[in-house]
Amino acid sequence: MRDIDDDIPGSKENLKKLYPHTGKAYLLGVTGLPGAGKSTLVDQLVMVYRARGLSVGLVLIDPTSPFSGGAILGDRVRMQRHFTDPGVFIRSLATRGHLGGLSTSTNDIINVMDAMGKDIIIIETVGVGQDETEIVSTAHTTIVVLAPGMGDEIQAIKAGVFEVGDIFVINKANREGADRTVQDIETMLNMKRYADNEFHPQVIKTEAIYGNGVEELFSAIDEHRLFLEESNTLLNKYRERARYEFLELLKESLISSVVAAKGGEETWENLFDDIAKRRRDPYTEVELIIDEFLKNSLARPPKN
């Protein structure tokens, strides 16, 4: 999987071969602000799924190390109990500056785990809060983890995280203010009008470090999955992910092609220098570069 994360030549060919064998795993997204206890909650969920005989893949998105460029593993030590379990596969990915809470190779890694036969794949986002809405285009069920006393209920509205949650978890529920946080989230949910084919999100209290409330969360996940299947909206989830995955690949490929076609690093640095000194403007330059790229592309003979 390191080859995929590093985009080593040849890795895309392997992904093409694997793709027909994907689409069977259920994707569970876990997002929320740092300090809410996402990793501890994920650790407990893995135990619940394994106790039921299901295989689990973990895609854990971490901030990028400024020194190595790799993932800062942080509190991944909590996952150590699962490292020797053959039914659990864990992969930490660095964001490498990518916004949206996910890594650029997240979907590729998900597809590999899916092809491996994992029943459940849990994607834990980096936890930056305001840019985590990409998870809703990836996961079938999205869990937003909050904690009392952190102002999370306000952040949920400001950041748009409120709109992406299928299940809201108030973790560290033994803290003062937990019931108030539950009430605030439920009040906001009740303010929204839900259509017949829309799921009304649940609010679950947990104390993940002790395992309290995890069974209730598991039941809520199952209830959401059953709703998607019975309302025929699960197919929409697959289409949404297909759209997101395709457009991300297209965007990445086009940018790489345009950059390579324009010239070497010196050419780009000269352009950036001119823009910084206001000798050229970025709007015109982007238009010129795209026009030039399209003309050159159309002039090339088609591939056999």
Higher pLDDT, 104 or 188: 188
pLDDT of residue 194: 77
The runs of H, that is alpha helices, within 160-281 are 178-191, 214-230, 234-262, 265-276
Does the pLDDT of residue 285 top 60, yes or no? yes
- Quickly state the pLDDT bin for 263 (edges 50, 70, 90): confident
Cα gap 68→247, rounded to integer Å: 29
Tokens 């076609």, residue located: 261
Does the pLDDT of residue 225 top 80, yes or no? yes
38 in Cβ contact with 124 (< 8 Å) = yes
Structure tokens at 4: 């995929």
Burial profile 78-104: b = 16 or more Cβ within 10 angstroms, e = fewer? bbeebeeeeebbbbbbbbeebebbbbb
Sheet of 141-146, strands arranged across:
88-94, 56-62, 120-124, 26-32, 141-146, 167-170, 202-205
Higher pLDDT, 186 or 150: 186
Structure tokens at 170: 């108030």
Residue 32 CA: distances (Å) to CA of 21, 195, 250: 31, 26, 28
pLDDT in tens, 15-70: 999 999 999 999 999 988 778 899 999 999 999 999 999 999 999 887 654 444 44
pLDDT of residue 96: 46
Q: Which domains, from first to last, does the chain contain?
A: 2-231 (3.40.50.300), 243-299 (no CATH)
Cα gap 198→233, rounded to integer Å: 9
Cα gap 105→59, rounded to integer Å: 10
183 in Cβ contact with 177 (< 8 Å) = no
Residue 85 CA: distances (Å) to CA of 51, 54, 113, 266: 12, 12, 15, 49
pLDDT of residue 155: 56
pLDDT of residue 223: 96
4 in Cβ contact with 115 (< 8 Å) = no
For residue 56, list its beta bridge partners: 88, 120
For residue 205, list its beta bridge partners: 170
26 in Cβ contact with 138 (< 8 Å) = no
Measured CA angle at 59 (ends 223, 43), to 5 deg: 65
pLDDT of residue 276: 96
Measured CA angle at 239 (ends 220, 101), to 5 deg: 65
Helix (H) or strand (E) segment spanning residue 56:
strand 56-62
